[in-house]
């Protein structure tokens, strides 16, 4: 890129829960931010221009950074299907794609890391892998550096085990040895800004980044801990085989896989540690935000 550098402008394809946190963090860091939403009544974000997905085509040239966070369909990423022929006409500095650690498949409780070959089981995982490859191809064609950010179980304010506990409909499924990682919304935002920032400008090509905390834990353990923070008795445990009888296909597919995800290479690459390295710190922060009187 020659001439006067363009001012930083982040274009987000799909303003979902995590992407909205990224948008807010980017605004605070001095980025101009545009995000797409199919909901004309989407809650506004200070400093963020929210447009319909189709309008993203007009923002491609001005944007220096692209972040794709929309879930895939049978053809892969929906924005690639919609705008793919336009992407290679532009030269962003960075492209990011929000994927999932579910791509590692079932490892029978073993560890995976950023170098582990994906082994998705089922159509959902195959769609994610296709979308990853589509964005990697676009990045290669544009010359942009890129990051595939594989997210573990996402949680944060308004999206945590507290919600079901407060509503009285939490289910504490007993599955000894079924441990999995989580990642707080604010750590997703922080890691994404670190990945796209000026400090990473010497990075070339693409990376896989695992966004997963440092303490994989059983769901029943996390729910019991959260109940204690609320001053509630933990819900009774339900054996996994009993819970599967009334579970959705998506739920059954989750419990059919068992793996632990390491993010040490990611934290080393980004030069940062997690704000919330375990669910304990993350849940305490959520409670402080949602119920400051209780936590204080």
Domain holding 43, by residue range, is 9-158+183-213+261-276
Q: Do the domain assignments include residue 122?
A: yes
Does the predicted TM-score (pTM) go above 0.85?
yes
Per-residue pLDDT of the chain (296 residues; tens, 9 = 90+): 445 567 899 999 999 999 999 999 999 999 999 999 998 788 899 999 999 999 999 999 999 999 999 999 999 999 999 998 899 999 999 999 999 999 999 999 999 999 999 999 888 999 999 999 999 999 999 999 999 999 999 999 999 999 999 999 999 999 999 999 999 999 999 999 999 986 666 777 899 999 999 999 999 999 999 999 999 999 999 999 999 999 998 889 899 999 999 999 999 999 999 999 999 999 999 999 998 877 66
State how many domains the chain has. Answer: 1
Q: Residues with Cβ < 8 Å from 137, sequence gap 6 or more?
A: none
CA distances from 46 to 35, 69, 158 (A): 12, 20, 19
Find the CATH number of the domain harbouring 22: 3.40.50.720
The DSSP-derived string for 37-62 is -S-TTPPP-TTEEEE-GGGGGGGTTT
Half-sphere exposure of 125 (CA within 13 A, CB side): 15
């Amino acid at each position: 890129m020659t001439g006067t550098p363009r001012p930083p402008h982040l274009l987000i394809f799909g303003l979902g829960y995590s992407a909205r946190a990224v948008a807010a963090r980017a605004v605070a860091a001095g980025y101009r931010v545009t995000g797409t939403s199919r909901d004309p009544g989407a809650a506004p974000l200070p400093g963020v221009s929210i447009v319909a997905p189709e309008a993203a085509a007009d923002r491609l040239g001005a944007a220096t950074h692209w972040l794709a966070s929309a879930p895939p369909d049978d053809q892969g990423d929906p924005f690639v299907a919609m705008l793919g022929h336009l992407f290679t006409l532009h030269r962003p500095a960075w492209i990011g794609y929000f994927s999932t650690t579910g791509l590692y498949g079932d490892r029978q409780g073993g560890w995976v890391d950023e170098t582990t070959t994906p082994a998705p089981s089922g159509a959902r995982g195959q769609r994610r892998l296709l979308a990853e490859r589509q964005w990697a191809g676009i990045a290669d064609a544009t010359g942009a550096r890129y990051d595939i950010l594989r997210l573990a179980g996402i949680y944060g304010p308004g999206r945590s085990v507290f919600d079901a506990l407060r509503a009285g409909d939490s289910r504490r499924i007993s599955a000894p040895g079924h441990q999995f990682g989580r990642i707080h919304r604010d750590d997703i935002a922080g890691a994404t800004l670190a990945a796209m920032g000026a400090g990473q400008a010497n990075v070339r090509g693409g990376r896989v980044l695992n966004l997963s905390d440092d303490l994989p834990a059983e769901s029943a353990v996390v729910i019991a801990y959260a109940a204690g923070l609320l001053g509630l008795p933990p819900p009774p445990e339900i054996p996994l085989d009993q819970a599967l009888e009334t579970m959705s296909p998506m739920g059954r597919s989750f419990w059919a896989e068992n793996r632990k995800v390491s993010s040490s290479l990611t934290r080393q690459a980004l030069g940062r540690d997690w704000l919330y390295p375990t669910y304990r710190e993350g849940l305490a922060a959520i409670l402080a935000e949602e119920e400051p009187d209780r936590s204080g």
